[in-house]
Amino acid sequence: MNNPRKKIVVANMPGIHVNANGSLRHLVKAGSRWPMTVGNSRSIDYYPFPFGLAYTTALLKRDTSAIVKGLDGVARDMLPGEFFNEVVKGKPDILITELVGVTLKEDLSLLKKIKESSHCIIIVCGYYVSTFPEKVLIENDFIDFSIFGEYEITIKEIIQYLEDETKKLPEIEGLVFRSSRNEVLKNKPRPQLDLNDLPFPDRGDFPPQYYADFAFYMPCISIISSRGCPCSCTFCLDRNVLYNSPAYRMRNAEDVVNEIEYCISQYKANQIYFDDQSFVVDKQRVLKICELIISRNIKIPWTCMGDVIFSDYEMLKMMKEAGCIGIKFGVESAAPEILKQIKKPIDLEKVKQVVQWCKKLGINSHATFCVGLPGETEETIQKSIHFMENLGINTAQVSRAVPYPGTPFFEWAKQNGYLLTEDSERYDASIESVLNYPQISGEKMDQCYKIFLKKVSRKKVLQYLKNPLRSLSFLKDQYQQKGMKATFSAICTFVKRAL
């Protein structure tokens, strides 16, 4: 007799935190390279697509007999109680979720409550779990499995074990579990997967209309065509924690373009955003993708996360011909000594050159900066602000440097006594610095960060005012998905950053 089909929920835990005085903080979690607070309202203006959870959902639907449902508590603006009710009413056998440090205690409390009510198996994964995979199980007896590193295939094998026990737990790579004697055991790491073995991420349960990044036209659907980065930036969670490797893995160009066509036909995409760590690392593959887009007569604008390190004029020109309208790249700092210390092999003159190429080709350029990296001073921050203002980019963003556990940045800061705290819930890039340097205090860095943030936010507001039709397209889509109140809330979040 066959076992009944398992009911599985693959969830992004809710992002709304209710403060003691009743005010709200709305965080982004799965899908964000920097889990953090984005606004102080029920709805916000940015929701990253949770690729790992969406790929897991699609993989389980394809390769197991389970009944699988994806649930994004962040994008659906759910309060913890609403998330609890939604999960429990479905009576799941298994709940899969990422844990993030900034809301760790609250999320663990919610998971424990779900366990007590539904008695489901709980599987956790993500950046925080990859850093502390054994600790998570030792300290929380209601969690059944934790996964370190890239997690999609490991989760599939756990589900297959639970379905028919053809796999034995000690054989499942990347897994931490309890033995029959209640010992917490850690299996060997899982080799990095071949991205071409994955199905397209699930966009039925994670509707693309919720998510917009570097968007000019809605709906803008996020795709990743690669994982990893050959650079060795000391602060990077993907490079140092999740993948723990400098390997750059690419999907086949044909499969990437097939997904573009699928998103157009299935979800009426009006724009594509390539949310790779760096889309442009391999020039020949980029050219191949562009050639296929052109040869198939795919007429859709697209943007990407790139890197000036790997960009040249020929490639950018071909990208423009294939529909590219924007490229986002990391600068981090205008101080060469800081770039050297964080092992970011970037030439500031090359940054200027790439921006000029983009301007000539009609490609929007967006640069990212970071305040508080090793070697930071008040003077280097002012230097970065000046560089940003005179670079000629269309838009920019800035964040506080966060030395996440598991990264070389964290180890360096800890060894030198620069950490103000090791409480993971204070590692929120939007709230305060957790670093204090001899040459500049955390308080002073926060003051400089706020000045920097206003300048980049005003630049973004001006771009929206210059392109009112694009702005109205975004607002119309937000209104259709979440209504007038949520749309107004998102606008307020966006404008407040510039005030």
Residues 48-102 have pLDDT tens digits of 999 999 999 999 999 999 999 999 999 999 999 999 999 999 999 999 999 999 9
Q: Are 33 and 47 in contact (CB under 8 A)?
A: no
Q: Token digits for 108?
A: 């663990």
For the segment 370-377, the average pLDDT, to the nearest whole number, is 97
Least confident of 18-22, 71-75, 149-153: 18-22
Compute the average pLDDT of residues 267-275: 96
Please give the Cα distance from 490 to 44 (Å, whole number).
4
Q: Are 433 and 395 in contact (CB under 8 A)?
A: no
**Full-model pTM:** 0.93
**How much of the chain, in percent, has pLDDT values that exceed 90?**
81
Is the pLDDT at 243 greater than 80? The verdict is yes
Whole-number pLDDT of residue 422 = 95
Strand partners, 97: 11, 124
Please name which of 38, 21, 19 lies closest in space to residue 29, comparing C-alpha atoms. Answer: 38
Residue 140's CB is within 10 A of a number of other CB atoms, namely 17
The pLDDT assigned to 1 comes to 40
What average pLDDT does range 384-409 have in this prediction?
96
Structure tokens at 304: 């990407």
What confidence tens digit (pLDDT) does each residue in 164-175 have?
A: 877 789 999 999
Query: For 432-442, what is each residue's pLDDT tens digit?
Result: 999 999 999 99
pLDDT score for 499: 54
Q: Cα separations (Å) of 103 from 40, 41, 133, 423? A: 15, 17, 17, 11
In the predicted structure, residue 371 carries a pLDDT above the cut 70: yes
Q: What mean pLDDT, rounded, does the chain reach?
A: 92
What is the per-residue pLDDT for 20?
85
